[in-house]
Amino acid sequence: MHTSSPPLSNMNESDKYCEAESPITWVRDAAVKVRYGKSVMESMNSVTVMSLVKSTIRKHPNARALGIIFHFICILILAYKENGAYQYWTYKQYYQQILATAKSFIKLGLEPFNGVGILGFNSKEWFLSNLGAIFAGGLSVGIYATNTPDAVAYVLESSQSNVCVVENDAQLQKVLKVWDQLPHLKAVVQYVGKPSTEKGECILCKFTVCDGVVKWEEFIKLGSEVPDEELQQRMEAQYVNKCCALIYTSGTTGNPKGVMLSHDNLTFACRVIGQFVKVGTACETIVSYLPLSHIAAQMLDIYLPISYAATVYFAQPDAFKGSLNTTLKEASPTIFFGVPRVFEKMSEKIKIGLNELGSLKKKLVGWARGKCRQAAENMKVGQGPPFAHGIALKILGTIRVNLGLTNCRYLYAGAAPLTPETHEFFASLGLPVMEVYGMSETTGGNSMTAWVEGNRHWKPNSAGFRTPGFSYDLLDKDEKGHGEIAMYGRHVLMGYLGEEEKTKDTFDSEYRLKSGDIGYVDKDGFLFISGRIKELLITAGGENVAPVPIENEVKEALPQVSNCMLIGDKRKFLSILITLKTEVDQETLLPKEEFTPQTIEWCKSIGSSATKVSDVLDDKDEAVKKAIHEGINKANKKSESNAKKIAKFTILATDFSVSGGELGPTMKLKRPAVIAKYSDVIEKMYED
Q: Which DSSP string do the residues of 580-595 spell out, in sequence order?
A: E-EEE-TTT--EEEEE
pLDDT the model gives residue 417: 80
Fold of 537-686: GMP Synthetase; Chain A, domain 3 (3.30.300)
| Stretch(es) of the chain classified as CATH 3.30.300.30 | 537-686
Closest CA to 184 of 258, 111, 102, 107: 111
Q: Rg of the chain over CA atoms, in angstroms?
A: 25
| Stretch(es) of the chain classified as CATH 3.40.50.12780 | 324-533
Specify whether the CB–CB gap between 472 and 446 falls below 8 A: yes
- How many percent of the chain have pLDDT more than 90? 63
Fold of 62-73+94-238: Rossmann fold (3.40.50)
Q: How far apart are CA 262 and CA 37, in angstroms?
A: 17
Q: How far apart are CA 462 and CA 448, in angstroms?
A: 9
Q: Residue 485 pairs with which residues in a beta bridge?
A: 474
The set of residues, in sequence order, having a beta carbon less than 8 Å from that of 95 and lying 6+ positions away, is: 53, 54, 57
Using DSSP, state whether 510 is helix, strand or coil: coil
Confidence of residue 357 (pLDDT cuts 50, 70, 90): confident
| Entry field: residues in the chain | 688
Q: What would the mean pLDDT of 441-452 be, rounded to a whole number?
A: 86
Side chain identity, residue 137: G
User: Has residue 289 got a pLDDT over 80?
Assistant: yes
User: Has residue 532 got a pLDDT over 90?
Assistant: no
Q: How far apart are CA 509 and CA 505, in angstroms?
A: 10
Specify the higher pLDDT residue, 3 or 236.
236
Closest CA to 95 of 117, 77, 111: 77
Question: Range with the lowest mean pLDDT among 66-70, 351-355, 385-389?
Answer: 66-70
Q: What would the mean pLDDT of 437-465 be, rounded to a whole number?
A: 82
Q: What would the mean pLDDT of 332-361 be, rounded to a whole number?
A: 89
Q: How far apart are CA 88 and CA 313, in angstroms?
A: 9
Q: Report the Cα 279 to chain-centroid distance in Å.
A: 19
pLDDT the model gives residue 567: 95
Angle, nearest 10°, between helix axes 49-59 and 91-108? 150
Confidence of residue 190 (pLDDT cuts 50, 70, 90): very high
pLDDT the model gives residue 31: 97
Confidence of residue 9 (pLDDT cuts 50, 70, 90): very low
Specify whether the CB–CB gap between 583 and 590 falls below 8 A: no
Confidence of residue 43 (pLDDT cuts 50, 70, 90): confident
- What integer best gives the mean pLDDT of the chain? 88
Q: How far apart are CA 243 and CA 616, in angstroms?
A: 53
| Stretch(es) of the chain classified as CATH 3.40.50.980 | 62-73+94-238
User: Has residue 312 got a pLDDT over 70?
Assistant: yes
Q: What would the mean pLDDT of 239-264 be, rounded to a whole number?
A: 90
Confidence of residue 542 (pLDDT cuts 50, 70, 90): confident
Which tens digits make up the pLDDT trace of 567-626? 999 899 999 999 999 998 877 778 999 999 989 999 999 999 999 999 999 989 999 999
pLDDT the model gives residue 82: 66
Q: How far apart are CA 202 and CA 213, in angstroms?
A: 8
Closest CA to 578 of 670, 657, 656: 656
Which tens digits make up the pLDDT trace of 115-171? 999 999 999 999 999 999 999 999 999 999 989 999 999 999 999 999 999 999 999
Q: What would the mean pLDDT of 339-358 be, rounded to a whole number?
A: 88
CATH of 324-533, picked from 3.40.50.720, 3.40.50.12780, 2.60.40.1080, 1.20.140.10, is: 3.40.50.12780
pLDDT the model gives residue 648: 94
Question: Range with the lowest mean pLDDT among 239-253, 341-355, 445-459, 629-643?
Answer: 445-459
User: Has residue 72 got a pLDDT over 60?
Assistant: no
Confidence of residue 338 (pLDDT cuts 50, 70, 90): very high
Q: How far apart are CA 272 and CA 260, in angstroms?
A: 19
Confidence of residue 205 (pLDDT cuts 50, 70, 90): very low
Q: Residue 441 pairs with which residues in a beta bridge?
A: none
Angle, nearest 10°, between helix axes 420-427 and 340-355? 60
Question: Range with the lowest mean pLDDT among 49-63, 392-406, 465-479?
Answer: 49-63
The torsion of the CA quartet 98, 166, 84, 88, rounded to 10 degrees, works out to 10
pLDDT the model gives residue 77: 61
Helix locations, 388-507, DSSP H: 389-395, 397-403, 420-427, 500-506
